[in-house]
Amino acid sequence: MRITGTFLDAVVADIPSNNWGPRQWAADFDAMKAVGIDTVILIRTGWRDRTCFDSPALRRYYDLIAPREDLLSLFLDQAQRCGMDFWFGGFDSQQWQGDLAAAQHELDANIALADEVMARHGDHPALKGWYITHEIGSFHEGAVTIYERLARHLKSLKDMPTLISPWFVARRPDGKGMTPEEHEASWRQVFQRVSGLVDICAFQDGVCPFTGLSAYLEINARLCRENGLRCWGNVETFERGDVHLKFMPIDWRHLLHKMEASEAAGCEKLITFEFSHFLSPNSMYPSAHTLYERYRQWLEEAE
Amino acid sequence: MRITGTFLDAVVADIPSNNWGPRQWAADFDAMKAVGIDTVILIRTGWRDRTCFDSPALRRYYDLIAPREDLLSLFLDQAQRCGMDFWFGGFDSQQWQGDLAAAQHELDANIALADEVMARHGDHPALKGWYITHEIGSFHEGAVTIYERLARHLKSLKDMPTLISPWFVARRPDGKGMTPEEHEASWRQVFQRVSGLVDICAFQDGVCPFTGLSAYLEINARLCRENGLRCWGNVETFERGDVHLKFMPIDWRHLLHKMEASEAAGCEKLITFEFSHFLSPNSMYPSAHTLYERYRQWLEEAE
Amino acid sequence: MRITGTFLDAVVADIPSNNWGPRQWAADFDAMKAVGIDTVILIRTGWRDRTCFDSPALRRYYDLIAPREDLLSLFLDQAQRCGMDFWFGGFDSQQWQGDLAAAQHELDANIALADEVMARHGDHPALKGWYITHEIGSFHEGAVTIYERLARHLKSLKDMPTLISPWFVARRPDGKGMTPEEHEASWRQVFQRVSGLVDICAFQDGVCPFTGLSAYLEINARLCRENGLRCWGNVETFERGDVHLKFMPIDWRHLLHKMEASEAAGCEKLITFEFSHFLSPNSMYPSAHTLYERYRQWLEEAE
């Protein structure tokens, strides 16, 4: 089971910039297509004070630096050129975690943003899904409120599937984190609230010790089934664990371990965060080039 | 307004080595010249126990490992070859912050070093300025004493302009740091002391949230005017913020934002820390290669 | 005195993966040979939950992810092809530090592993030494027990030399760490216990300020002589110190300083951690390519 989707990381949050212009982005879409990527998901329109395109709607809500290019249009057109589905992801101010008033402000801004994007790009043939960008690791009232209300609004704008990609708080060797049972209870609470509004959940899989991964993935798949969500896997292509450099391309053997664990747990589709830094022959990290080579070789051997 | 100056980073402090020999340094001076760099500033002769050339004078003050090459001569000659001005920067033991006795020791060592460099290279046609290497973020009695006495001595050796490039303690979203008003009061205290001795101040601009930058830059420019200093901008070419890898080449959009903010605030000249790691087509960081490409493209479009 | 040995880093511990397949590993053995490497040492069979080849013996002791390739066979064959000695290194669960029961479990697992490797590869012409992988910085009862018992068992399997490569706790400018005298007392305690069982000790040399290094290296050499061990140096090729990116290729001047200090202290042979990430023209870190170039140039000039 191969990776057929990737996030697109278009503003600097905690990962540095590849500094690509249109030429390099086009080459990277070609590289994605060559390994079977059919889905690209904008992980976020923006983060804190920066956005990847100009949004007058967002500027009414937040103090933003001037955008320098329109990566949203570029991504939509590249996705169309390569026959891929594009999923639109909203804005994350990193201020919504505090209280419900902050979450409401975040919700209002994201609704205004979606309205604007719909008006500009609603008919673009590549636009095929909504990604709700706000990430949590366990039940969080503010986030779940955003999920409920934003998903409802997005579906009213255009009836496309909605996706979230949360992390989770796995038990670690030091005894911290949630047991599988605690994890299950917390996420049941989330899924019961968003059932029918959020269509797909793709948990991040890098937050768990490798040998404990299957236990959590099986819970995730069961919770999705029970609540009517589809279960995808976000097979992260960067190394976590004890590695000091945060973050670098993952060891190929670790990636394969996680892909197999996701397939065994019943994930319907594998996506990744993310191709262009960590799995691309064009990445700023040379070990992504060799990871791409090894991944392609595996694909060829599997055929 | 383009970047026309860069620091030269010739010993390892907190940034790892490019491991360049004379051939690679010469190629990098060519790359600098191609984008209009006319000024190169040695950020420091040495740091803690290492120096970029042998200084018998310094060896009398500090325990140093044996120098392996003479990068000072190399830089002077490359600057001459490329028609650039070279500014000499002193030694930073990282021990001067403690008390005034430590600052006095640092001052004595830097005076001996400058005397030696003057004797060896005082007539080099590329030698055009003095850089005082000791960095502070707000008023610091030891540093200001060094600035006063060292600048006076340097000017007596050769009447060339003197430059400092401090950081500053901007207010951050968590409420820590100085308000613009506190910043202004602290730096007025510095500038009133060094007026007439330090000629130019180029504040580092990466220490501030992007959207708050202009407020500080305008204060900096006003303080310079009021105290008879010239105001340059040190438009840092590495990413700070939330990025885990400290430090990597900056996003091109962030660099452009900062360049425009510096120009708007009235900076007379833009320099950067620094070309060879973060903006160079020869850098050990591949995303510096793409940053250089995007910067050159912007220069060409501006012409 | 050149570096003639290197560790081989074949699973991800704290350093990210080069993501090499057989073709790239073969090219890297060629690059090692070109600079005179005659000894390759597997730093560890595995770490926590991962191994670089399948070991049914280890799987009886630890919960491991499925191995994806057999790097042990690959390394043995490459070493033979290039005329190098291969030293086998055991498994480090990172759980042995706690109490003596944990150390005993680690010992039992490593004995079972060695038996298995002996049965599979005992007659391989490249197999020439045993490396005991468990690293300490000062006397540690659990580790010393492992050293004693494992070394005895390894020698009974095949009479080859045994090697350890510990770190040490040097005094730092902040006053933390051991004085040379404290260091000597602690390691005398280790060496008196393992004398006759461990044949060679190659201390890691990156854990000490450069200017204080010689004092420790001289103690190390004397302690080795007094206790009948041979003294090698592990001249680390990555930068420690104040550098934020942990870890990057070392500055060539720092490497040369350490090589000379090791030679002066009387080290018989210099090995390094490790060629393939930090000194290789094939490394994922471009500054390793330039380090290799400078190192080769130095070798050529020395001939």
Q: What is the pLDDT at residue B49?
A: 96
DSSP symbols for chain A:
--EEEEEE--S-SSS------HHHHHHHHHHHHHTT--EEEES-SEETTEESS--HHHHTTS--PPP-S-HHHHHHHHHHHTT-EEEEE-EE-S-TTS-HHHHHHHHHHHHHHHHHHHHHHTT-TTEEEEE-----SS--HHHHHHHHHHHHHHHHHS---EEE-----B--TTS-SB-HHHHHHHHHHHHHHHBTTB-EEEEE-SSS-GGGHHHHHHHHHHHHHHHT-EEEEE---B--TT-SSSS-BPPHHHHHHHHHHHHHHT-S-EEES-HHHHT-TT-SSHHHHHHHHHHHHHHHHH-
Position A79 pLDDT exceeds 90: yes
Q: Do C249 and B66 touch (CB under 8 A)?
A: no
Q: Do A20 and B297 touch (CB under 8 A)?
A: no
Percentage of chain B modeled with pLDDT above 90 = 96
Q: Do B67 and C253 touch (CB under 8 A)?
A: yes
Residues contacting B301, CB < 8 A, separation 6+? none
CA A121 to chain centre: 21
How does pLDDT run across B139-151, given as a tens digit for each residue?
999 999 999 999 9
Confidence of residue A112 (pLDDT cuts 50, 70, 90): very high
Q: What is the pLDDT at residue A100?
A: 93
> Average of pLDDT values for A39-51?
98
Structure-token match 């934003």, residue found: A150
Give yes or no for a cis peptide into A275 (omega within 30° of 0): no
DSSP symbols for C95-130:
-TTS-HHHHHHHHHHHHHHHHHHHHHHTT-TTEEEE
Confidence of residue A109 (pLDDT cuts 50, 70, 90): very high
- Residue A108's alpha-carbon distances to A60, A103, B81, C201, in angstroms, are 11, 9, 59, 65
Confidence of residue B268 (pLDDT cuts 50, 70, 90): very high
Neighbours of A177 (CB within 10 A): 18
Position C146 pLDDT exceeds 90: yes
Chain A hits for B256, CB-CB cut-off 8 Å, are 68
Chain B hits for C175, CB-CB cut-off 8 Å, are none
Return the half-sphere exposure (C-beta side, CA atoms, 13 A cut-off) of residue A77. Answer: 9
> Average of pLDDT values for C44-50?
97
Confidence of residue A174 (pLDDT cuts 50, 70, 90): confident
Encoding tokens for residue A202?
């793709």
Q: How many CB pairs under 8 A join A and B?
A: 75
Kindly list the partner chains of chain A, i.e. chains with 3 or more CB atom pairs below 8 Å.
Answer: B, C
Position B114 pLDDT exceeds 90: yes
Tell whether C27 is within 8 A of chain A (Cβ): no
Q: What is the pLDDT at residue B209?
A: 93
Q: Do C68 and A244 touch (CB under 8 A)?
A: no
Position A3 pLDDT exceeds 90: yes
Percentage of chain B modeled with pLDDT above 70 = 100
Q: Do C16 and A251 touch (CB under 8 A)?
A: yes
CA C81 to chain centre: 22
Phi-psi category of C37—alpha, beta or left, where left has phi over 0 and alpha has psi -120 to 50?
Answer: beta
Instruction: For an interface test with B, give the residue of A14, A17, A94, A290 to mutate (most B CBs within 10 A).
Output: A17
Q: Do C17 and A287 touch (CB under 8 A)?
A: yes
Q: What is the pLDDT at residue B173?
A: 82
CA distance C39 to C2: 13
Position B302 pLDDT exceeds 90: no
Q: How many CB pairs under 8 A join B and C?
A: 76
Q: Do A243 and C24 touch (CB under 8 A)?
A: no
Tell whether A19 is within 8 A of chain B (Cβ): yes
Tell whether B287 is within 8 A of chain A (Cβ): yes
Residues 214 to 273 of A: which have CB under 8 A from any B CB? Answer: 245-247
Q: Do A287 and C286 touch (CB under 8 A)?
A: no
Return the half-sphere exposure (C-beta side, CA atoms, 13 A cut-off) of residue C19. Answer: 30
Q: What is the pLDDT at residue B3?
A: 97
> Average of pLDDT values for C235-245?
95
Q: What is the pLDDT at residue B298?
A: 97
> Average of pLDDT values for B162-172?
96
Q: What is the pLDDT at residue B94?
A: 96
How does pLDDT run across B24-68, given as a tens digit for each residue?
999 999 999 999 999 999 999 999 999 999 999 999 999 999 998
Chain C hits for A287, CB-CB cut-off 8 Å, are 16-19, 284
Position C302 pLDDT exceeds 90: no
- Residue C49's alpha-carbon distances to C59, C65, C257, in angstroms, are 10, 6, 37
Q: What is the pLDDT at residue B14?
A: 96
Tell whether A302 is within 8 A of chain B (Cβ): no
- In residues, how long is chain A? 303
Q: What is the pLDDT at residue C303?
A: 81
> Average of pLDDT values for B184-208?
97
Return the half-sphere exposure (C-beta side, CA atoms, 13 A cut-off) of residue A29. Answer: 22
Instruction: For an interface test with A, give the residue of C9, C15, C65, C282 to mutate (most A CBs within 10 A).
Output: C65
Chain B hits for C299, CB-CB cut-off 8 Å, are none
Q: What is the pLDDT at residue B159?
A: 98
How would you classify the pairing of strands A3-8 and B200-204?
unpaired
Q: Do B19 and C251 touch (CB under 8 A)?
A: yes
Least CB–CB distance from C239: residue in B16, B21, B64: B16
CA distance C11 to C44: 8
Tell whether B172 is within 8 A of chain A (Cβ): no
Position A289 pLDDT exceeds 90: yes
Structure-token match 């840092």, residue found: B236
CA distance B294 to B41: 24
Q: What is the pLDDT at residue B266?
A: 96
Q: Could you tell me the pTM of the whole model?
A: 0.96
Mean predicted lDDT score pLDDT of chain C: 97
DSSP symbols for B227-269:
HT-EEEEE---B--TT-SSSS-BPPHHHHHHHHHHHHHHT-S-
With CA atoms as reference, the chain C residue closest to B282 would be C286
> Average of pLDDT values for C91-111?
96
Chain A hits for C17, CB-CB cut-off 8 Å, are 239, 248-252, 254, 287
Encoding tokens for residue C34?
């070109």
Q: What is the pLDDT at residue A130?
A: 98
Q: What is the pLDDT at residue B291?
A: 97
Q: What Rg do the C-alpha atoms of chain B give, in angstroms?
A: 18
How does pLDDT run across B31-42, given as a tens digit for each residue?
999 999 999 999
CA distance B273 to B167: 12
CA distance C141 to C139: 7
How does pLDDT run across B10-26, given as a tens digit for each residue?
999 999 999 999 999 99
Q: Do A210 and C49 touch (CB under 8 A)?
A: yes
Identify the structural domains of chain C with CATH numbers, from first to last: 29-302 (3.20.20.80)
Confidence of residue C80 (pLDDT cuts 50, 70, 90): very high
From C290, C192, C286, C280, select the one nearest C7 (Cα to Cα): C280
How does pLDDT run across A231-273, given as a tens digit for each residue?
999 999 999 989 999 999 999 999 999 999 999 999 999 999 9
Q: Do B287 and A286 touch (CB under 8 A)?
A: no
How does pLDDT run across B219-267, given as a tens digit for each residue?
999 999 999 999 999 999 999 989 999 999 999 999 999 999 999 999 9
Q: Do A290 and C67 touch (CB under 8 A)?
A: no
Tell whether B300 is within 8 A of chain C (Cβ): no
With CA atoms as reference, the chain A residue closest to B297 would be A21
Q: Do A13 and B251 touch (CB under 8 A)?
A: no
Sign of the torsion angle spanned by Cα atoms C75, C80, C84, C85: positive
How does pLDDT run across C165-215, given as a tens digit for each residue?
999 999 988 899 999 999 999 999 999 999 999 999 999 999 999 999 999
Which ipTM score applies to this complex? 0.94
> Average of pLDDT values for A267-285?
97
Q: Which residues are registered as beta bridge partners of A90?
A: none
CA distance, residue B278 to nearest chain A CA (Å): 11
C32 within 8 A of C38, measured Cβ to Cβ: no
Chain B hits for A63, CB-CB cut-off 8 Å, are 211
> Average of pLDDT values for B269-290?
97
Kindly list the partner chains of chain C, i.e. chains with 3 or more CB atom pairs below 8 Å.
Answer: A, B
CA distance B249 to B286: 9
Tell whether C211 is within 8 A of chain A (Cβ): no
Q: Do A17 and B245 touch (CB under 8 A)?
A: no
> Average of pLDDT values for A104-111?
98
Q: Do B18 and C287 touch (CB under 8 A)?
A: yes
Chain C hits for A298, CB-CB cut-off 8 Å, are none
Return the half-sphere exposure (C-beta side, CA atoms, 13 A cut-off) of residue A206. Answer: 23
